[in-house]
Amino acid sequence: MLPLLAEFTSPGIGFQIGLLSIRWYGVLIASAVLIGVNLSQYLASRRQVNPELLSDLAIWLVLAAIPSARLYYVIFQWRDYVGNPASMIAIWQGGIAIHGAILGGTIAALIFARVKKISFWQLADLVAPSLILGQAIGRWGNFFNSEAFGSPTDLPWKLFIPLDRRPPGLENVAYYHPTFLYESLWNLGVFALLMFLFFKGSRLKVGTLFLTYMVAYSAGRFWIEGLRTDSLMLGFLRMAQVVSLTGIAIGAIGLFWLYGMKRSLPDVVDDPNPDSQPTR
């Protein structure tokens, strides 16, 4: 038998400060937003873009992404909520989908870019490193909520799931793949790749970072989702895997468009400065 390397056990979904109940999921989301805004502003200053634009964009993204993430989840888990509509807004109990957040945030960013008359792809490049870093942080919310774990495992690293959170039929199985950890580490790797490209790439075409994010994140999410026991389903399909394959295809086609065909990406402004952007 292999020696135990790590056993993860959630300390609970939150803690108390006096009469105030604090949820770890909320703390993590707030931390991810704060860190992400500051990082995006720093990257904007390196690209000679007004950092205040990123502060304004962050408000749009939060207002669009969080409700979209919850709505996406509720749609695919409709049977769990139709009898209790009030629970649909109980986001503090967990139950959000990052693909819904990305979709809502992308729509908000497109509108913002159009209003501010700035290249959407330029904004997307500045947000991409913050987005993947925020996803790496946010995945730990699943750990505290004892949710979004993988299939049973006896590997030297494993996640203990309380009895009341175990899948039907697996009540006697205590340990599962810590898929939250797998995805968090994968996302940190993608973050490192994007930051390397930003600072070490001699000249990057507008849109490169976001398209690279789409391919790299989606590739990891596809295989990790295959380990999950609670995937959002559309018939027999795991929706996250379908969306991930779509993201890989869009990202790959976009990168080929930029570097294979040497053309700029369609944008919301007439002259989005499609030439290569200096990164330093």
Is the four-CA dihedral 187, 189, 191, 197 of positive or negative sign?
Answer: negative
DSSP assignments along 223-273, one per residue: HHHTTBSS--EETTEEHHHHHHHHHHHHHHHHHIIIIIS--PPP-SSS---
Helices (H) and strands (E) in the chain, counts: 9, 9
Instruction: Report which DSSP code applies to 258.
Output: I
DSSP assignments along 128-139, one per residue: HHHHHHHHHHHT
- 139 a known binding residue? yes
Q: Which amino acid is residue 105, in one-letter code?
A: G
**Annotated binding-site residue numbers:** 139
